[in-house]
Structure 1
Amino acid sequence: MASSKSPLFDTATTVGKIMSFLGVSALCGVLAAGLIFPLAATGGATAAAGTEILEELPSELREEPLSVPSHVYDADGNELATFYAENRVPVDIEDISENMTDAIVAIEDERFYEHGGVDARGLGRAIVHNVTSDSEQGASTITQQYVNNVLINADFLRGEDRLTISGSKTYADKLREMKLAVAAEEDMTKEEILEGYLNIVLLGGRNYGVEAAAQYYWGVSAADLNIPQAATLAGMVQNPNGYNPENNPETAESRRNVVLGAMLRNEYITQEEHDEAVEAPLDLDLHPEYAGCVEADSAPYFCDYVRRVILADDTFGPDQESRDQLLNRGGLEITTTLDPELQSAAQQEVEDTMTPGSVSGAAATLVTVEPGTGDIKAMAQNTEYSPEEGEGSTELNFNVDAAFGGGNGFQGGSTLKPYVAAAWLEAGHSMYEIVDAGRDQFAQGSQFRASCLPNGAATVLDDGGWSINNVMDNSKRPMTADFGLFWSVNTATVNMAYELDLCDIADLTTRLGVTQAGDGAELNPQNPSFVLGSENLSPMTQASAYAAFAADGEYCRPRAISEVTDANGNEYDVAGPQCEQAMEADSVAQLNETMTNIADYNAQDSGSSFDFPVGGKTGTNNEQSSTWFIGYSKGLSTASWVGSYADMTSLNNRNINGQVHDEVYGSTIAMPMWVDYMNQIADDYSTDDFRSPDNSPFQNPDSTDRYMGGNGREGGNTPDNDQADDGSGEDDGEGTPGGDADGGTP
């Protein structure tokens, strides 16, 4: 292959300088006379001014990085999705078939190895043609085309309006292109120019560069392109979509044969090779590289969450537009925290629990985070990730907050009660301490202490006050905090809150990352009913908060991305686990004594079981349209949610995978789904015992005997077995919703 600097145009020599000057200067005069390109109304030049214009034009090529697709991977390196504006895989010239370089030179610039960026002979030929013919013929060399493509790429990335595309060039544009082409030939070898050109050129659809095009049309690398394949791609350069073999096979084949003729004429192929290639079919074997989360191989909702995390993080650019460009053009390699085995198990479980699209407006979800890191290990939803309208199709990610692609969340119900119990312990109380759960009415004007509010209190404002009801018989009476949480007694939780400062409860939920799904606001102590789960929360928020119970009080922000590098190997400063001690370890240990008993009892009652330590809590809202089980082992915290998302339609008496339940609670579907899923994957992470409290008041902390009545402490009747599923608390608050239906069973 020839040297980059043709002796004729080597401007280091006197002859070279003269030839270079005469070639470009003559062109200025020709352009001014209108012999090659029609005068642009906004950018003409005269022959007299040609030299001055040339002097003012830039001599350095304004380059920007080529647009390269970004790839998202799970923690094991499996690709989840690709993002791109231009499908491109840059390769070195050594990795491009000689057939391809021969074909492109033969059809686009047969004197490529002889000229110095501007081909005077080709220019003269074009002048004669344009003077003597009604049609126009260009004379752009491969170097000029390369320069033009680089300018287009730079203009786009810099947000400049005027691109030097064909048909929009002024004389000044063409002069600039030619001057830069000569300069490029001075700075680059022919091989470098050819490599750059073959990596930047559009070859149909959104396929840029020969490697991406070869992979797309035939599933081969650019290094393995045969003669007819190379000729097909080379033929597309002039009209990438018009000569696209996928959409216009006959036209593409005809154009390919023209290229083959040029290759024969320039002695790149023999007559025999030419004849064989002309007879060859296009033989396409399409391998589309789908873009975006809609085409994600797995975990499309997690993919969407990752995309939104990047768009929201100034690590990846000063504004959302620049971050979006980086994602679609920067060649990012994004490694996430997703565990493919957990994700596969979670997705299968939500679909087995509720067949996609089978229950109108309802869904099942699972999301798992790792205590101690916050790493998101699985995020599954039984709907199809799709922008198309249809039953069971939605782009809404029910596992996350609205800011990251979710909706407004779901009422937490009794899953909020452990936070009240945690605040109770932090205030110096014990789970064995007696709570007066007999008070079930707070008159209008009643005040709950709330030191962070302007008047230091939250006031019950509703006409008729706030009435609280339970389901379990004989539950409006004194009882231990432990007993009240175990049986999810509404009056016990409310009266614990009454003895506390509501702002302390809200402060604890804030430390545990609990915010409202719709707007990200902290829980508001202005309305005391928040302690019964009236606020809307996302499953991931809940899973992350409960993970702190597994991690001895250490809360870690949810984390989806572990590593990011760009196309040049630059590594972005992606934050590691962001954790802080949100609760005292001993308070958590006391809480876990009750939480493990709740999980054990509910599992047995729902016909499920697990053989490793688990803490957790069910939850159901008043309408029984939103049901939960949030549970945790030492190594994993998972929120299981089953409910209605289109409206507040109850799950009662609806056919869910062949079963119809008169009443649906957290222990009915959500908890068995959680148990089935966790039994498959829990052993992949720690299943050690939780920390024991330093001074437990319980002689037999792992026994549920103390919850069954007649133990000399609670008294009263043993609850009916019929109520051992989640009961339904009534909302008699007249505008002060309790948001809770777990008023008497765990």
Structure 2
Amino acid sequence: MRSGLLKLFGLCVLSGVLVASLAMPMAFGAGAFVNETTSAMSNMSATMAKGQMPLTTKVTDRNGKPLAYFYDDYRIPTPKERISQTMKVAITAIEDKRFWDHRGVDWQGTMRAMAANISSGSVTQGASTITQQYVKNYRVHVLADNDVERQEAQATTVARKLREARIAVELERTMSKKEILAGYLNVVPFGNQTFGVGAAAQTYFGTTPDKLSIPQSALLAAIVNAPGALNPNTNPQDALQRRNLVIDLMASHSNRFRISEAAAERAKKQPLDVLSPLGRPPNGCVTIGDGAANGFFCNYVLDYLRRAGIDRDKLDGGGYTIRTTMSREDTQEAKKAAEAQVPTRTPGIANAMAVVEPGKDKHKVRALVANRDYGNDASKGQTARDIVSDVQPFGAGSVFKIFTAAAALKQGKSIHDVIPVPPTYSSTKYGKPGDPYTVGNAEGVAPGPRTLQDALATSPNTGFIMLEEKVGVDNVVNMASKLGLRRSLNKTDAQGKSLQKGEMSEAETVKKYDSGSFTLGVSSVSVLELSNVMATISSGGVWCPPTPLESVKDRNGDPVRLPEAPCEQVVSPHVAAALAQGLGKDHLPGGTSHAAAKSSGWNRPVMAKTGTTQRYHSAAFVGATPQMAGAVLTFTSGSDLEGICVGGPGKPPYLCGDNGGNLYGGTVPGRTWYNAMTKIHEGLPVAPLPGIPPRP
């Protein structure tokens, strides 16, 4: 009895302190029980009144359809008028039945809790109003930046209770009851990484807060008490029992906005009807909707934003709306074409494609796909490695002859000029003393002189090595960089890895050693950058960064300006048009991609080039019309480097040993490009390649 009386005395003293702190706030501004100053508390109440909190970032395709979400806590902010009356009745019935009467602190509830807690000695449990809970939850889930701050915001101390009570009273002076209730419902956790009633309505029922029914509202109000223990998917019986208790309280005569007893009885008979799987969108790039096809594009968006100053941490709570340039239709066609040539689970072979829309003010990325799905389960043919936009440790073969031709055109050569094509050629310029660099032509490439245009279509190695000798390797490398291989050549080493301090870039290495093999496409390359090369040519020689962004808006809907490299006229319109015409015969009879073009039903002008590396570890195809540009790279993706063999009709390619292979750019890569682009161009007018204007 003596112990109980002492505890009661202590609680009475605490009550007196609490009343005094609220009645004389300035006296306790720097007191022992209150950590923050009066000014800090007022600032916090002002911040809460604004309702500023971490928000989910949404990424969409070009038409506004969601592509991905990024968040620490899944939230959908909801104004008070968009929250159903049943939700407001449910939460006040179970959490604070005198919410509409008190002024931030419920003295009746506080004294009752004190009396009930005498036996346990607790002085901090129970009796928190919704306003006080709003303060606590805002501190824990919005203001706290780390685990230490979160623990402090939840500490079972007298100081914390006094702090919350003081700020609660301040909020009641500056906000209406409806605003406080909406603020609380927007910040409180509902379990399953879901915060706020807007996100909870979507997560559990796939609906919006204004449409929540009585049983739905009651279940959400029930979950708030213990989100982990009352998870309706893992503990449905306890969740149902708690939900029905809430429904009974909603019909109680002590509830100001009560529901009828008949409505309550009907509601209690309803099943939980919770979504399975939950309606909360996945967090990140991997699995939303048709994420297997969209993941590579999403990953490129993340990388592009990071380089522009918006990293993942900013996205997770920033509430940005990011509208991308991605065409879902183009992506689906490209994905379908890539998988048709190399099925998803084909061991050790990747088939990647990028599509870019040309333009003189923007190069918009429309699709980034691969036969691989984007994800973390390798057994299902997935990869989370960026094999489309990032630089791969494989070459594009004779595609690089484009850069030698462009350098020659810039120096005054014409596409109708004849170049020699011997069966073999030994270069003393590129070889070592007594050991010349000797090359031959690929199987089926006949020797004999031909125009530069015909040489681009038939792709003789000997002729382009001789041409490269005349124009200079440095000029060819500079041209490749200007047209689009900027990261591939200047930001990575010879293996395609990001440069470390003191290392030479691929461009520097080729120039230093005067590597004549550059025109044969042995350098590491990005599929996206190859596609952007073709977009540059198709845009009259104007290079633009391959952007995945249409617009970026902040949480308030205001545009966000990002630092992006400006577009550049990197070659004259004359050189660009001459190069386009020079590449205009690859799909015609005698061209290296004629069979692939014919099999797809391709029937419009196109500038194109095939390429194959020496040991058949990779092959490429690039092509463009005035409306769309694209590139495909097929390469060995396993741990063991082997040549790739192309099977017969209807059979997928396969690895065939280090010394085997018959993969060419006109086979798997060419068929992938033409099959995808035939569909992508449906409905677009047939446009001619640009005519060659007079040389300036």
The answer (yes or no) to whether the contact 1:401–1:518 under 8 Å persists in 2 is no
Bigger drift between 185-194 and 383-392 goes to 383-392
Q: Which residue of 1 aligns with 2:399?
A: 415
- Give the aligned CA root-mean-square deviation in angstroms: 3.1
Separation in 2, partners of 1:54, 1:484: 80
Specify the alignment match of 1:59 in structure 2: 42
**Residue 602 (structure 1) aligns with:** 592
Aligned equivalent of 1:712: none
Q: For residue 99 of structure 1, report the CA deviation from its aligned partner.
A: 1.7
Between 639-648 and 257-266, report the one with greater CA deviation.
257-266
Q: Contact between 2:458 and 2:592, CA under 8 Å: does it hold in 1?
A: no
**Maintained 8 Å contact 1:440/1:476:** no
- Find the aligned partners of 1:677 and 1:51 in 2 and give their Cα distance: 67
CA distance in 1, matches of 2:108, 2:74: 35
Mapped contact 2:581–2:690 kept (Cα < 8 A): no
Whole-Å separation in 2 of the counterparts to 1:629 and 1:57 = 63
SS in 1 for 2:620: strand
The corresponding residue for 1:24 is: 18
- Secondary structure in structure 1 of the residue aligned to 2:609: strand
Which residue, 599, 614, 619 being the options, matches 2:606?
614
Q: What's 1:676 paired with? A: 675
1:351 alignment partner AA: E
Report the equivalent of 1:719.
Answer: none
Partner of 2:280: 289
What's the CA shift for 1:363? Answer: 2.2
Confirm or deny: 8 A CA contact 2:445 2:458 kept in the other structure.
no
Shift of 1:529: 1.7
Alpha-carbon distance, 1:630 to partner: 0.4
Q: 1:684 to 1:330 in 2, by over 3 A?
A: farther
Report what 1:377 is aligned to.
366
Query: Residue 223 of structure 1 aligns to a residue in which SS?
Result: helix
Asked if 1 retains the 8 angstrom alpha-carbon contact of 2:21 and 2:166, the reply is no
Q: Residue deviations 1:492-516, cap 9 Å, x none?
A: 1111111123222221112112142
Cα deviation, residue 684, structure 1: 4.4
In the alignment, does 2:537 pair up with 1:549? Answer: yes
Give me the whole-angstrom Cα distance separating, in 1, the residues matched to 2:35 and 2:643: 79
Q: What are the superposed Cα offsets for residues 330-357 of structure 1, whole Å, 9 maximum, x if unpaired?
A: 2222111112221221112112222211
Q: Compared with structure 1, are the counterparts of its residues 393 and 139 closer, same or farther at alpha carbon in structure 2 (3 Å cutoff)?
A: same
Q: Tell me how far apart the structure 2 counterparts of residues 418 and 57 of structure 1 sit (CA, whole Å).
A: 65
- Correspondence list, 1:188-337, <5 A: 188-265=175-252, 266-267=254-255, 268-286=258-276, 287-291=278-282, 292-298=284-290, 299-314=294-309, 316=310, 323-337=311-325
The 5-angstrom pairing of residues 479-558 of structure 1 reads 480-515=451-486, 516=488, 517-519=496-498, 521=505, 523=507, 524-526=510-512, 527-558=515-546
Q: Which residue of 1 aligns with 2:12?
A: none
Q: Aligned equivalents of 1:48 and 1:486: distance in 2? A: 85
Cα distance in 2 between the residues matched to 1:109 and 1:124: 15
Q: Any idea what SS the aligned residue of 1:599 has?
A: coil
- Matched ranges for 1:675-714 at <5 A: 675-685=674-684, 687-694=686-693
- Asked if 2 retains the 8 angstrom alpha-carbon contact of 1:25 and 1:50, the reply is no
2:222 and 2:693 map into 1 onto residues whose CA distance is: 79
Aligned residues: 633
The 1:541/1:49 distance shift into structure 2, 3 A limit, reads closer
User: Which deviates more from structure 2 when the two are superposed, residues 652-661 or residues 531-540?
Assistant: 652-661
Contact preservation (8 Å) 2:78, 2:186: yes
Q: Deviations for 1:41-67, whole angstroms, at most 9, x for unmatched residues? A: xxxx9x995589876863331557322
TM-score (norm 2): 0.84
Maintained 8 Å contact 2:586/2:594:
no
Deviation of 1:618 (Å): 0.3
Displacement of 1:212 = 1.8
Shift of residue 391, structure 1, vs aligned partner? 5.1
2:574 counterpart of 1:586: yes
**Equivalent of 2:651 in 634, 658, 665:** 658
Q: Is 290-299 or 194-203 further displaced after alignment?
A: 290-299
**Shift in CA distance, 612/476, structure 1 to aligned 2, threshold 3 Å:** closer
Q: Distance in 2 between matches of 1:201 and 1:154?
A: 10
CA separation of 1:495 and 1:53: change in aligned 2, threshold 3 A: closer
Return the offset for 1:421: 0.7
The answer for the alignment partner of 1:706 in structure 2 is none
- 1:24 is displaced (CA, Å) by 2.7
**2:5 corresponds to:** none
**Cα distance, 1:536 vs. partner?**
0.9
Shift of 1:436: 5.0
Which whole-Å CA distance do the structure 1 matches of 2:96 and 2:269 have between them? Answer: 25
Unaligned 5+ residue runs, structure 1?
A: 1-20, 30-44, 317-322, 403-407, 448-459, 697-746
Distance in 1, Cα, partners of 2:564 & 2:684: 19
Assess if the C-alpha contact under 8 Å between 1:481 and 1:492 holds in 2: no
Matched-pair contact (CA < 8 Å) for 2:185–2:196 = yes
Q: Deviations over 1:82-103 (max 9, x none)?
A: 2222222121222212221112
> How far is the alpha carbon of 1:626 from its aligned partner?
1.0
Residue 478 of structure 1, CA deviation:
5.7
Q: Contact 2:136 / 2:153 at 8 angstroms: preserved in 1? A: no
Counterpart contact for 1:361–1:392, Cα < 8 Å: no
Match status 1:183 vs 2:170: yes
Secondary structure of residue in 2 paired with 1:364 = strand
- Structure 1 residue 219 displacement after superposition: 2.5
SS of match in other structure, 1:174 = helix
**Aligned to 1:398, which of 387, 407, 428?**
387
Which residue of 406, 426, 431 maps to 1:441?
A: 426
Q: Residue 80 of structure 1 is aligned with which of 40, 55, 67? A: 67
- What is the distance in 2 between the residues matched to 1:510 and 1:52? 59
Over residues 301-343 of structure 1, what are the superposed CA-to-partner deviations in whole Å (9 max), with x where a residue is unaligned? 11121122222221x3xxxxxx323322222221111122212
TM-superposed deviation, 1:276: 3.5
Cα distance in 2, alignment partners of residues 426 and 541 from structure 1: 21
517-526 or 591-600: which moved more? 517-526
Question: 1:59, 1:179 within 8 Å by CA — same for their partners in 2?
Answer: no
The equivalent position to 1:130 in structure 2, one of 112, 117, 120, is 117
- Deviation of 1:193 after TM superposition, in Å, equals 0.2
Instruction: Call closer, same or farther: CA 1:394–1:411 in 2, change over 3 Å.
Output: same
TM-score (norm 1): 0.78
Q: Which residue of 1 aligns with 2:437?
A: 466
Cα separation, partners in 2 of 1:278 and 1:669, compared to 1, 3 Å: closer
Deviations 1:12-53 (A, max 9, x none): xxxxxxxxx967345799xxxxxxxxxxxxxxx9x9955898
Which residue matches 2:93?
Answer: 106
**Contact residue 360 and residue 391 of structure 1 kept, 8 A:** no
Structure 2, unaligned stretches of length 5 or more?
A: 1-14, 489-495, 500-504, 655-660
Q: Pick from 350, 353, 362: which aligns with 2:349?
A: 362
Residues in 2 aligned to 1:54 and 1:611: alpha-carbon distance in whole angstroms = 76
